[in-house]
Copies of this chain bind each other. A is one copy, B any other.
Amino acid sequence: MDKQTLRLKQTPQRMAIMKYLQGNKNHPTVEDIYNYVVEQFPNISLATVYKNIDILKNMGLVQEVTIDPDKKHYDPDTRHHHHLICVQCKKIIDVDIDFDIRVPKDYLEDFEITTTHIDFYGICKSCKTKEK
A101 near B: Cβ within 8 Å? yes
Tell me, rounded to whole Å, the shortest Cβ–Cβ distance linking A29 to chain B: 12
> Which residues does chain B contribute within 8 Å of A104, judged by CB atoms?
97
The reply to whether B125 and A110 form a contact with Cβ atoms under 8 Å apart is: yes
Q: List 22 A-B contacts (CB under 8 A).
A: A64-B69, A66-B66, A66-B67, A69-B72, A84-B108, A93-B111, A95-B103, A99-B101, A109-B125, A110-B125, A111-B123, A111-B125, A112-B123, A112-B128, A113-B121, A113-B122, A114-B121, A114-B122, A116-B118, A116-B119, A118-B118, A119-B119
Chain A interface residues (CB < 8 Å from chain B): 64, 66-69, 72, 84, 86-87, 93, 95, 97, 99, 101, 103-104, 107-125, 128
